[in-house]
Chains A and B, each alone.
Chain A
Amino acid sequence: MIPEVFPAMVHAVFPVVSKDEHFVPLDVSARYVIAANGIFLEQRTPFFAAAVRVDRVAGMRVEGLEPHAEWLELALPPLDSDYVAQAVSFFRTVYQRWGGEAILLLFRERPEGERPARWALDAPPQLMSGQWHADGFHAAMRLAYGSCDKPGPAYVRAGSIHSHGAGAAYHSDTDVQDEVGGAGLHITVGRVDAALPEFAASFVVGETRFTVPVEDVLAPLEAPRDPPPHWLPRVAPATGHVRPALPAGGVPRCA
């Protein structure tokens, strides 16, 4: 009846509790919760705390257990407005030049002592697919990207921010698939050709996506700021369907 053997060692690292009258809120770094409506992984990290369902029990209800729910608490301040402005300028430039999309990776410093943690952004090497025509490159709605070194050892890759060109800001199926397992904040910017672009934000934990209010994760877009000069050279157009591979030496990698 129980189809898959879970690696035995998991029992040694996370406790398992049931959702009954003795249940108390998360008081360890991570635990499994067995509830009337399924099994949840609850955890707390320096950047978020969350409960996500790790398997569903179809139509099951057990006497004596309470149902549990997925939840998220963010421990991240909004991305600084300077970074938001740089990102928008970058996306706008890419759109004006190629008519396509682009991506930046979000990095977050781990808190240490009293020193405030910082955000960082960087452009990974990226290829937008499309076709060449008489008037230039016509980008398709697809973008492959590579990895990018962290700004420093104290940073973690905390998500991504990418554009949909002049299209709407939302998380497409491609985006959703890409972000599975990429725990962190994932932002889509749309209407980059407009004076006021659109934003959509999700926080991903495992395979669960939480929609988060944009104002909670992005500072307001203020004065325009030029992106760092090394970002744009990492964007390249390519014909045909681009798979997420990058030509050796064709596009510079992050320093």
Chain B
Amino acid sequence: MTQQQRRQPQQDLVATSTPPVARAAFFDQERSSQVRILAGAQVQDMALGGQTVAEARSLAGTVFAVDPSAQAFVDGRRVSDEHVLANGQELEFVKRTGEKGAHRPLERDPDPGPDPDRDMDIAEVLAALRAGRTLQLPLRPRARARRVPAPEERRVGDDPTVGRAERAGDASQPDRRVRPIRGLSLEVTGDELVWKRGARGGGRAKVHDLAASLADVGSTRDRWLVSPRGVRLMVERDEGDVVGVVIEMEPGPRQVGWISETSERPCGAGTRYAVRRLSFPWVVLVVVFESGELTDLQQAFYRTQPLGSAGDPLYYSNLLNCMPSTHGLEAKLCLRKMPGRLADLTWEERINSVTEHFWEASFNRSADIDEHKSFYWSGGEVDARLADVTAWERATTAEPYFALGLPWRQAPFSIGETLERMLDEVAPRPQIERVEDLVTALQRRQRGA
């Protein structure tokens, strides 16, 4: 029996709701209504003569997974979705924009898995075909990936080659100096301040509003810090003597020293190490310095995306030498063996010292002597490929960036909260609520000057 002979009974059963004209077009192989559909290397002739581009787009999207935002061209000329296709024309769908990268997308549909709403009983399909009922095949492509977001203009401010004055216009800077007001005075008493303008009245506010207003003014140029490479956030406390730093390091496979699985000693002399190539997501170090030196307040976290705001969450790592500490750090990183003084270095050199030590010092089991405290041991709960370092390395070889796709366990605080809590350990931010607080802050500033 030939294919043509076999097809006939099925065709009789197909699509009772299909317009008779369209059915005839197929059954009779009538070429006159054919339109050639192109989408990438996809080339098919289909009976679409007389249909609109929108209808063809819907069909091409369903059958070939063509991007719904693709531009339509008929015989090389761009057309709208309302265009009616003529017999023998060529309709091409061209994807307008795309995105590549060795990077996990910011948004991704979850694994669709088995979806009962999308599964169908094949026996029902066959029964429908044989009974002459309308065939309603769920042929929509499975697990459609989320479409790349809609276009967005690049902001002028993104271009570092354009200076601020150039963007604003040289002559457009307003004169922000306030003209003196005769008779204006300010009195501060308790937690309140009162200003008077002679006979024209005045106003009152709280001292903490004054402090907030002064903070909003911003710091003077001598207090500005140029962020060293890799640093996403630097926050000063205590006249700049205490500085909290958030360091972000790019994901990917990295070569690190790791304690040998056969090492009899957990750390110290006689410990054996091996070089491992391991996949890491974004690694975030949060470090507090005082007078340029480490304060023993440093933490290590993971993220699957670069930081975007102070409210972004952090995730626990699977690192050795990183564990919850007894004094409130969720993910303390041991940097005890870091050599040399840091106070004499520039910020660039200081940050380099920390990051180089982080990657170059071998990871060992110093935190796990009595019990498994480090996050390494919980890796297997995140993903079976992290059950041990050998599995981790094997998975890295197979997929160098696989760590970016794992469901890391979220830490309780955001990056902003984490840094604030650490800074408060060393230099709590003074509350300026009353005139006494204000005077104390002024005196401290005068002493510092």
Contact = CB atoms under 8 A, between A and B. Distances in A.
A107 B368 CA distance: 57
Interface residues of B, number: 100
A176 B43 contact: no
A130 to B, nearest CB: 10
B40 A156 contact: yes
A243 B48 CA distance: 34
B108 A28 contact: no
B58 A153 contact: no
Given A10-B139, A65-B122, A173-B104, A181 B26 contact: no
A92 interface: no
Nearest to A172: B102
Interface string B131-146: 0001111111111111
A81 interface: no
B97 interface: yes
B105 A177 contact: yes
Contacts of B48: 9, 13
Contacts of A234: none
A41 B51 CA distance: 22
Contacts of A65: 122, 126
Nearest to A45: B43
Interface in A1-38: 1-18, 22, 24, 27-30, 32, 34, 36, 38
Interface in A122-169: 127, 132-135, 138, 140-147, 153, 156-160, 162, 164-165, 167-168
Contact of A207 (B65, B122, B226): B65
A153 B76 contact: yes
Interface in B108-159: 108, 114, 116-126, 129, 134-146, 148-149, 151-154, 158-159
Contacts of B116: 58
Contacts of B62: 6-7, 10
A174 B62 CA distance: 22
Interface-centre pick from B1, B92, B98, B129 (highest chain A CB count, 10 A):
B98
B97 A45 contact: no
Given A17-B3, A146-B96, A177-B146, A11 B44 contact: no
A45 B44 contact: yes
Contact of A4 (B10, B63, B136, B160): B136
B138 A175 contact: no
B349 to A, nearest CB: 13
Nearest to B7: A15
Given A3-B118, A45-B43, A34 B125 contact: yes
A183 B42 contact: yes
B10 A45 contact: no
Nearest to A138: B229
Interface string A43-77: 10111100001111110101001000000000000
Contacts of B71: 147
A161 to B, nearest CB: 10
Contacts of B44: 29-30, 43, 45
B233 interface: no
A24 B3 contact: yes
B29 to A, nearest CB: 9
Interface string A90-110: 000000000001010000101
Nearest to B90: A153
A12 B47 contact: yes
B229 A15 contact: no
Instruction: Rank and list the top 3 A-B pairs by shortest CB-CB distance, nearest first.
Output: A245-B151, A11-B15, A244-B97
Given A11-B26, A101-B102, A206-B63, 14 more contacts: A17-B7, A17-B10, A30-B44, A140-B306, A156-B92, A159-B40, A180-B67, A181-B39, A181-B65, A181-B95, A182-B95, A243-B148, A245-B151, A246-B97
Interface of B: 1-3, 6-7, 10-11, 14-15, 17-19, 22-23, 25-26, 38-48, 51, 55, 58-59, 61-67, 71, 76, 92, 94-106, 108, 114, 116-126, 129, 134-146, 148-149, 151-154, 158-160, 226, 229, 250, 252-253, 306, 399-401, 405
